[in-house]
Structure 1
Amino acid sequence: MRVSQNESIRSAGHRRGGRRRVSATAVLAAVLAFTVACTSGGGGVTTNDDAPGLPGGVEDPPRASAVITAPVADAKDVPASTAITFTTDQATETTVELTDAAGEAVEGKLDEEGTTWLPTGALEYGETYTATVTATGDDGRPSETTSTFTTMAKPSNQVRVTSYLGDDQVVGVGMPLIVRFGREVPEKYRADVQRRMTVTSEPAQEGVWRWSSPTEVRYRPKEFWQAGSTVSYRVQTGGLPMGAGWFGRNDLSVDIKVGRELLMSVDNKAKKMTVTRDGKAVKTIPVSLGKKSTPSSSGTMLVMEKLRKTVFDTFDELGPEDGYRTKIDYAQRLTYGGEFIHAAPWSEGQQGRTNVSHGCVNVSMANGAWLFENTRVGDPITVKGTERRLQVGNGWTDWAMDWDEYVKGSALPYEPAADN
């Protein structure tokens, strides 16, 4: 059985249509004027009995009220993702309750503006619900309004929503949150989807969602995640319209943790990688990068996957003359295009001296094993000084653009975090 969660607006700042306050001097003047106009031969004063306790016909304070704007009363075929939206007037406190046909309360909460109440999960299909909004003003008298509606039948066209990361995963400080959709989300629906995506972190860190494609949206903080942070993200897309008669299939809720800060920096001129852990340099590694015909990419990349043993097979891509098939140890993918950090015992003589690879970061077998043991998915590596710039979209390139450019990919206007 679900537990009701009523949310209150307790600040006068949420009051709609605030009323004027009348000073004591103004009240006295009104009473004296009324006395002059209404005296009889006996000199008595006539009062308005409709306003008991208030002299001279002064009216009661306006009573608080609320109006549910959606779903409207008796609405049918309401999406299971619906929120309860409403307006209030003269209210200093507002509570919202949603119950199903059996009278059981549905858990949910108000948004920051205090005008929208969202269930914590998608509603049941084909179910009747009653929303009740209660507004209370300064006089302490509550005013209640209700709306009963019925959700739509379960749709046949549903879009699966998945997360790249799973619960309790420990990631590197550069790791973006990645949410994928089983079907392209039309641009006009992306803002609605993004409104249902929330991220909380401890400690709090500024960040934003960015659409990397019509089927994928990612979230990154303004700076690298702080080491040891806990991050939770929720996607409430169950029953949400996504265009052309398609609806979100499910909600998501994921809790992850950020590990220690491990950064890799590669200088092409020096042919060396410097590894720092929590701000302290812990290892310097000779490298061989891509030769001039196949240069490595310069920019900040992330470890996307780790393969203890694999085979590089480029015959389909490069053809029989230039292609090759090679067994590889300690491979860590950096781009979709095939750039890796990996052990390359055949180039140990060139590492630290010259570039001979096909675009990868070549290290010795011993250093490859050390890196493989110490890195996590989401750890950043920054390569500097090569002939080619990292192409945005060729991997998790969320850190290949500055913050001002990154926020342009949000479907919602970006609002910078407050100074405090």
Structure 2
Amino acid sequence: MGRFARTGAMVGALVLTASLALTGCGDDQKKAEFVGGNQPAGASAAPETTAGPTGSTPTAGAAAGPALQVSPADGAQKRPVSTEISAKIPGGGKVSEVVLTAAGGDKVEGLMRRDGSSWVPSSPLKYGTRYTATVTGTGTDGQTHQGSSTFTTMAKPKSMIGSGLYLFDGKTYGVAMPVVAEFSPGIPEKDRAAVQKRMFVRTDPPQPGAWHWLYNGTQAYYRAPEYWQPGTTITVRLALAGIPLSNGRYGNLDRTATAKIGRSFVMKVDNATKKMTVFEGGVLTRTLPVSLGKKSTPSSSGTMVVMEKKESTVFDTRDEPDPDNQYVTKIDFAQRLTWGGEYIHSAPWSEGVQGRRNVSHGCVNVSAANAKWLFERTLIGDPITVTGTERKLVPGNGWTAWSMSWSEFVKGSALPVPDGGAEPAF
């Protein structure tokens, strides 16, 4: 098994759809697939607040009270394009309507957070533009309060982070597909709570979830307590355009995607028996003999997901430090599980020992016929759990969001997570 490294280049302003590097068991290469996303995470559920671009209008004839205080303050300059609108009602109360217009009269769409803390524009504000916010609310005494503010956004900054979202719009994934956000350079720890508040995930049917940060802030995963329900729609928005960070950089752009979760297809591999059991829709449908990594190059124990599929490719491990692990081999039906080079793949050369002995360089070897059978049925995001090997899966070596308990996972959130997971922000 080769060393574990991640060398994918990050791109700031563009949405990349590059294929993942595929160089074989023990490789240490990676190329990212970057796309976009749209909705909540990280905020605890609170009573629904009815507000938006055309939110509830105050009751006709209601008594008028003192003006409420709008943020950003009137006359504010150089505000980030990630700015949200909030208001303080004298004596307390609830905002009922926010209207935001740009110079020239263009109206900005948006939604009030579920907890009522602020109103979030549905797309980034424009750089160097004047906006006017008019906010209406009802006080605890039943009086109507209104206030307005005119502010200007900052010019486009020169120093931005790169970001990526591993989710393709309109695609269908397996039940263990995490939402994976990536940043270059990583998000400083002191900024992660503010960034996480702008990383929105919504699921239909609703399933609470949480974010988990790793890699010194270069990656964050979002998942539910259990695998996604088959048929779920996941809508993601990483609303990071213009968000200021403590390292002097700003978020580069918003990324959005809506994807589907398909049927349940779960693979389990037990090193003790040298067999893979396959469950479709929760029912055991096939048992396959396997050969895992030999003692010098063991397979990783843990829950991984299929990240990439190649019907035919070449594994090239000539950069491995150990001459015994250097080879160039044509491989059929390769399914990547880790960045470090572990795959499920066809291995006709080991069919004689599959089910009895481990001889691979860390991959899950199956027969040519079984590799084809699996390849024709799996989706990106399908889970495989390997148990009983000499090596534990390293967090971040692949999409490892499911290789820890839910209680461990939520410890990686930058915001408090209610029992059972956070509800959407909207």
Range into which the TM-score falls when normalised by the shorter chain: 0.7 to 0.9
Structure 1 or 2, whichever has the larger Rg, is: 1
Give the structure, 1 or 2, with the largest relative contact order (CA under 8 Å, sep 6 or more).
2
SS in 1 for 2:167: coil
TM-aligned CA distance change 1:64 to 1:110, over 3 Å: farther
Q: Matches of 1:266 and 1:391 in 2, distance apart?
A: 18
Q: Which amino acid aligns with 2:115?
A: E
Aligned residue in 2 for 1:407: 410
> What is the Cα deviation at residue 139 of structure 1?
7.8
Could you list the runs of 5+ residues in structure 1 that have no partner in the other structure? 11-60
Aligned residue in 2 for 1:255: 258
CA contact (8 A) 1:263 1:379 kept: yes
CA contact (8 A) 1:9 1:92 kept: no
Q: Matches of 1:415 and 1:284 in 2, distance apart?
A: 39
> What is the Cα deviation at residue 417 of structure 1?
4.2
Is 1:5 matched with 2:71? no
Out of 343, 348, 362, the residue aligned to residue 346 of structure 2 is 343
Out of 170, 173, 187, the residue aligned to residue 171 of structure 1 is 173
Q: Which amino acid aligns with 1:5?
A: P
SS in 2 for 1:192: helix
TM-aligned CA distance change 1:66 to 1:232, over 3 Å: farther
Aligned residue in 1 for 2:294: 291
Aligned residue in 2 for 1:202: 204
Q: Matches of 2:372 and 2:282 in 1, distance apart?
A: 22
TM-aligned CA distance change 1:386 to 1:413, over 3 Å: same
Q: Matches of 1:365 and 1:408 in 2, distance apart?
A: 42
Q: Matches of 2:120 and 2:305 in 1, distance apart?
A: 35
Aligned residue in 2 for 1:378: 381
Q: Matches of 1:231 and 1:403 in 2, distance apart?
A: 19
CA contact (8 A) 1:274 1:285 kept: yes
Q: Which amino acid aligns with 1:239?
A: G
TM-aligned CA distance change 1:418 to 1:77, over 3 Å: closer
Aligned length: 367
Bigger drift between 61-70 and 150-159 goes to: 61-70
Out of 99, 102, 112, the residue aligned to residue 100 of structure 1 is 102
Aligned residue in 2 for 1:86: 87
> What is the Cα deviation at residue 138 of structure 1?
7.8
Bigger drift between 136-145 and 104-113 goes to: 136-145
Q: Which amino acid aligns with 1:215?
A: T
1:203-242 map, 5 Å: 203-213=205-215, 214-242=217-245
Q: Which amino acid aligns with 1:187?
A: E
> What is the Cα deviation at residue 168 of structure 1?
0.7
> What is the Cα deviation at residue 419 of structure 1?
12
> What is the Cα deviation at residue 353 of structure 1?
1.6
> What is the Cα deviation at residue 388 of structure 1?
2.1
> What is the Cα deviation at residue 108 of structure 1?
1.0
> What is the Cα deviation at residue 393 of structure 1?
2.2
Aligned residue in 2 for 1:14: none
Aligned residue in 2 for 1:22: none
Bigger drift between 187-196 and 101-110 goes to: 101-110
> What is the Cα deviation at residue 92 of structure 1?
5.8
TM-score normalised to the size of structure 2? Answer: 0.81
TM-aligned CA distance change 1:188 to 1:340, over 3 Å: same
Aligned-pair Cα RMSD in Å: 2.3
Is the helix fraction higher in 1 or 2? 1
Could you list the runs of 5+ residues in structure 2 that have no partner in the other structure? 1-51
SS in 1 for 2:156: coil
SS in 2 for 1:158: coil
TM-score normalised to the size of structure 1? Answer: 0.82
Out of 385, 391, 403, the residue aligned to residue 394 of structure 2 is 391
> What is the Cα deviation at residue 264 of structure 1?
0.5
Bigger drift between 191-200 and 304-313 goes to: 304-313
Aligned residue in 1 for 2:126: 124
Out of 156, 159, 167, the residue aligned to residue 157 of structure 1 is 159
Query: How big is each residue's C-alpha offset from its partner over 1:342-382, in whole Å with a ceiling of 9 and x where there is no partner?
Result: 11101111011221112211111011111111111111111
Q: Matches of 1:98 and 1:419 in 2, distance apart?
A: 28
Bigger drift between 379-388 and 171-180 goes to: 379-388
Aligned residue in 2 for 1:47: none
Q: Matches of 1:244 and 1:311 in 2, distance apart?
A: 41
